């Protein structure tokens, strides 16, 4: 009979400080009777278990490193170091070490009291270390704890009690600080999970009831009072307010929201009372998807991490072979003293442990991805973070990326001899009346201008309106046949043919990056309308900042005509452009750049640009908040639809690469310097421990710096 499939459960793990510990914990959990499979993710500090097991069984499996386990969603609080028992034991061990050292200065060598204090310091500070070290020794598993145990016992055996106690203290204090630092790095993502309130006020038959947010269903009504967090994604049906969306989009200024507008779980209501219709259940909210994508990103290995893992795989056996040679060869062939060369071999094994090297990349990736998420930039994996740091070229879609995608009327040019008196031309009333029933974006621009000028649209009526596909509109206004649309259409429809003044005005508008529309009635051109998409603010400054950050080439890809593209490219301070492109042409352009060996980032709106975003080295989508297409299409999403986050992203990526290189170089440099001291016999055990644990602690602190950089601080320096 086929065994039924076991439900997979996820747990949070507190206390994981090294990838090797994660591997061992996974094996220990899989040895629990009833467990079919276990997976430990070191970067996220999570455990997934298939099969039957209790929380007590799991913590027993992790007792080798004093690991604590809790179900996902009920995260353990990291707390301060002073609330950590292991840290307190370490401090007491240090006090005993200090007291023994002081007594040792005033008493004969090997006096009872200093040795006793050193011994108690070793036992108290190294309790968990020895327990796991002996287990590993029996199993012939030579990890850091095994080597440390052998080294400390060896030091005691040859009478170096003080050095043994110092080694224990340094190792224990470093482990406690490493644990605390790693938990702080991981907490950046866990803090996202705490943004959405657990409870919500549901409206039912005009009565308020408090329920868990997770039980809310689509179309339920939720009431959110001023100052409260919004518990669910939804649409405002009553009320207006300013919403602090910084948790989702990174925007520092509250966004005005009115009936019909979308709101997100985890954002904060301002001054108004809101009634909201639920549009997404708790597990499908934008915040929930961000958390899922960021956690998945943290679990994926970046290229640097994969390289380090491969390096460590060959490095560790090689070092063990060298240590064995140091222990055996000098005494056997050159008359060396066994105790001296065993000591040197043990020191080599301790200092050569690759902990700092292995941890150098993941701690940096975790911190950077977590910080980016808090600032409204969603990075889907360490590989994309590193690739962004190597970008040389950035290509931009124009509409919806460099511009807002909202055309506006910029020019009204009379060609019918009507005198300019500062008011709206009379012929524009006809154009507005013709566009009243159209859904075209350019029609929206004309109607917005008409509304702004206070034209009474109810009294503006045309007859026999019909669309001429791809060209414009035809209608009758006060018994006159009128055409509104492209200048090309007017040239086709009018008996007088090409109008010289019309051509001159159209070319002038095109040279300014604007779209030209013309109106003709009763066979004569009345006027020309200039329309242009609204540019995003600060685009020029953004391009300058990108150039300062090492982006060698910027490029605009657009379907506009050559003259419009040329004018806009110049105005936006973008070096290169490609015009009159269909979607497949954009894709071909990106492919050609990559085939020439360039690292190309594509910035688009995440909907129409999906193929191009997928083909680029890194695809960066605009406006991911509430947009499923943007969240799915790109490798990186700017959640606030804010191009000013792009320099921050490039800077953070380059900074991450720099810190990863610093960490790798620092860990290797410390190792090689310590190894060099072995040859003249200057490396002691406590120096070996200090070199190893010190390097690990330093790279951890260096990596966590990436979690404290603010996007606005960066851009203000370059604006």
**204: domain CATH number?**
2.70.150.10
Same domain, 502 and 394: no
Which segment of 187-201, 434-448, 495-509 scores lowest on mean pLDDT? Answer: 187-201
539/645 same-domain check: yes
What is the C-alpha separation between 302 and 24, in angstroms, rounded? Answer: 22
Q: Quick one: pLDDT at residue 391?
A: 93
Q: State how far the Cα of 280 lies from the Cα of 399, in Å rounded to an integer.
A: 29
Same domain, 409 and 464: yes
Backbone angles phi, psi at 492, to 5 degrees: -75, -35
Residue 291 resides in a domain: no
**Residue 569 shares a structural domain with residue 644:** yes
Helix (H) or strand (E) holding 556: strand 553-557
In this predicted structure, what is the pLDDT of residue 403? 83
Q: Are residues 136 and 246 in the same domain?
A: no
Question: Is 436 within a domain?
Answer: yes
Pair 490, 591 in one domain: no
Residues 433, 465: Cα–Cα separation, whole Å: 10
> Is residue 373 a contact partner of residue 535, using CB atoms and an 8 Å limit?
no
For 335-375, the DSSP string reads: ---HHHHHHHHHHHHHHT-THHHHHHHHHHHHHHHHHHHHT
Same domain (yes/no): 564, 529 = no
Picking from 143, 195, 190, 211, the residue whose alpha carbon sits closest to that of residue 171 is 143
The residue among 31, 36, 21, 39 whose CA lies nearest residue 57 is 31
Which of 621, 654, 687 is the endpoint of a domain?
A: 654
In a domain, 15, yes or no: yes
Residue where a domain terminates, one of 249, 284, 319: 284
Q: Where does the pLDDT of residue 142 fall: very low under 50, low under 70, confident under 90, or very high at 90 and above?
A: low
Q: Each residue of 299-325: pLDDT tens digit?
A: 555 455 556 556 656 665 677 677 778
Total structural domains in the chain? 5
Domain boundary, last residue among 516, 534, 552: 534
CATH code at position 608: 3.40.50.1000
What is residue 189's predicted lDDT score, i.e. its pLDDT? 54
Given a contact cutoff of 8 angstroms between Cβ atoms, the answer to whether 351 and 147 are in contact is no
Band (397; pLDDT cuts 50, 70, 90): confident
Rounded CA-CA distance 527/431 in Å is 10
Same domain as 529, residue 561: no
Q: Are residues 130 and 150 in the same domain?
A: yes
Check residue 341 and give its pLDDT. 80
Which CATH number goes with the domain that contains 520?
A: 3.40.1110.10
Is residue 176, in this structure, part of any structural domain at all? Answer: yes
> pTM for this one?
0.67
Question: Domain for residue 598, yes or no?
Answer: yes
* pLDDT range class, residue 717, cuts 50, 70, 90: very low
- Quick one: 542 and 642 in the same domain? yes
219 flagged as catalytic: no
Please report the sign of the dihedral spanned by the C-alpha atoms of residue 349, residue 321, residue 673, residue 707.
negative
Containing structural domain, residue 211: 199-284
Residue at 481 is within a domain: yes
The reported pLDDT for the residue numbered 519 is 92
Read off the pLDDT of residues 560-605 as tens digits, 9 standing for 90 and up.
778 778 888 888 888 889 888 877 788 889 889 988 989 999 998 7
In a domain, 688, yes or no: no
Tell me, yes or no, whether 22 and 128 share the same domain.
Answer: no
Say whether both 499 and 590 belong to one domain.
no
* Both tokens assigned to 184: 């702080």
Domain harbouring 22, CATH code = 3.30.70.100
Higher-confidence position of 688 and 212: 212
Give a yes or no: residue 434 inside a domain. Answer: yes
Among the listed residues 244, 397, 533, 641, the single catalytic one is 397
């Amino acid at each position: 009979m086929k065994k039924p499939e076991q439900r997979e459960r996820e747990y949070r793990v507190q206390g994981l400080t090294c990838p090797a510990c994660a591997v061992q914990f996974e094996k220990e959990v899989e040895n629990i009777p009833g467990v079919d499979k276990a997976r430990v993710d070191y970067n996220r500090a999570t455990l997934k278990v298939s099969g039957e097991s209790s929380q007590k069984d799991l913590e027993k499996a992790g007792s080798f490193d004093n690991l604590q386990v809790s179900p996902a969603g009920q995260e353990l609080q990291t707390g301060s170091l002073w609330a950590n028992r292991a840290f307190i034991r370490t401090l007491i061990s240090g006090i005993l070490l200090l007291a023994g050292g002081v007594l040792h200065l005033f008493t004969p060598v090997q006096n009872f009291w200093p040795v006793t204090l050193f011994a108690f310091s070793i036992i108290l500070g190294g309790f968990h270390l020895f327990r796991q070290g002996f287990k590993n020794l029996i199993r012939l598993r030579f990890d850091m704890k095994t080597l440390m145990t052998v080294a400390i016992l060896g030091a005691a055996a040859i009478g170096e009690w003080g050095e043994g106690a110092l080694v224990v203290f340094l190792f224990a204090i470093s482990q406690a600080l490493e644990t605390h630092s790693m938990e702080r790095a991981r907490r950046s993502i866990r803090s996202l999970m705490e943004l959405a309130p657990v409870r919500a006020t549901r409206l039912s038959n005009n009565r308020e009831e408090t329920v868990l947010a997770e039980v809310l269903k689509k179309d339920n009504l939720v009431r959110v009072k001023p100052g409260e967090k919004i518990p669910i994604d939804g649409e405002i049906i009553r009320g207006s307010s300013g919403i602090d969306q910084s948790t989702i989009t990174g925007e520092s200024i509250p966004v005005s929201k009115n009936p019909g507008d979308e709101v997100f779980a985890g954002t904060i209501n301002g001054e108004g009372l809101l009634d909201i219709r639920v549009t997404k259940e708790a597990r499908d909210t934008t915040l929930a998807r961000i958390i899922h994508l960021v956690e998945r990103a943290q679990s994926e290995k970046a290229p640097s991490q994969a390289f380090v893992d491969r390096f460590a795989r060959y490095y560790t056996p090689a070092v063990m072979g060298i240590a064995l040679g140091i222990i055996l060869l000098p005494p056997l062939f050159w008359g060396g003293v066994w105790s001296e060369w065993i000591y040197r071999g043990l020191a080599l094994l301790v200092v050569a442990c690759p902990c700092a090297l292995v941890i150098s990349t993941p701690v940096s990736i975790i911190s950077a991805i977590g910080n980016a998420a808090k600032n409204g930039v969603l990075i889907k994996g360490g590989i994309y973070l590193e690739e962004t740091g190597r970008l040389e070229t950035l290509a931009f879609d124009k509409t919806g990326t460099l511009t807002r995608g909202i055309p506006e009327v910029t020019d009204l040019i009379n060609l019918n001899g009507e005198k300019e008196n500062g008011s709206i031309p009379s012929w524009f009333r006809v154009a507005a009346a013709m566009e009243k029933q159209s859904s075209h974006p350019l029609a929206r621009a004309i109607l917005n201008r008409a509304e702004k000028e206070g034209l009474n649209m109810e009294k503006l009526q045309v007859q026999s309106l019909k669309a001429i596909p791809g060209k414009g509109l035809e209608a009758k206004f006060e018994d006159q046949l009128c055409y509104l649309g492209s200048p090309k259409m007017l040239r086709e429809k009018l008996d007088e043919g090409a109008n010289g003044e019309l051509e001159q005005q159209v070319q002038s508008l095109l040279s300014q990056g604007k779209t030209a529309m013309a109106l003709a009635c009763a066979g004569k051109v009345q006027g020309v309308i200039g329309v242009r998409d609204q540019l995003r603010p600060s685009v020029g400054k953004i391009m300058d900042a990108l150039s300062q950050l090492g982006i060698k080439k910027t490029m605009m890809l657009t379907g506009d005509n050559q003259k419009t593209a040329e004018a806009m490219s110049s105005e936006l301070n973008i070096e290169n452009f490609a015009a009159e492109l269909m979607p497949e042409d954009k894709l071909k352009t990106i492919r050609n750049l990559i085939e020439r060996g360039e690292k190309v980032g594509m910035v688009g709106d995440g909907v129409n640009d999906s193929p191009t975003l997928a083909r680029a080295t890194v695809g960066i989508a605009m406006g991911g908040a509430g947009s499923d297409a943007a969240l799915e299409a790109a490798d990186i999403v700017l959640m606030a639809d804010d191009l000013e986050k792009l320099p921050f992203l490039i800077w953070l990526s380059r900074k991450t690469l720099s810190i990863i290189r610093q960490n790798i170089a620092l860990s290797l440099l410390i190792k090689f310097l310590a190894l060099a001291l072995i040859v003249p016999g200057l490396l002691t055990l406590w120096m070996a421990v200090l070199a190893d644990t010190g390097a690990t602690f330093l790279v951890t602190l260096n990596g966590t710096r990436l979690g404290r950089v603010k996007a606005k601080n960066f851009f203000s320096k370059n604006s």
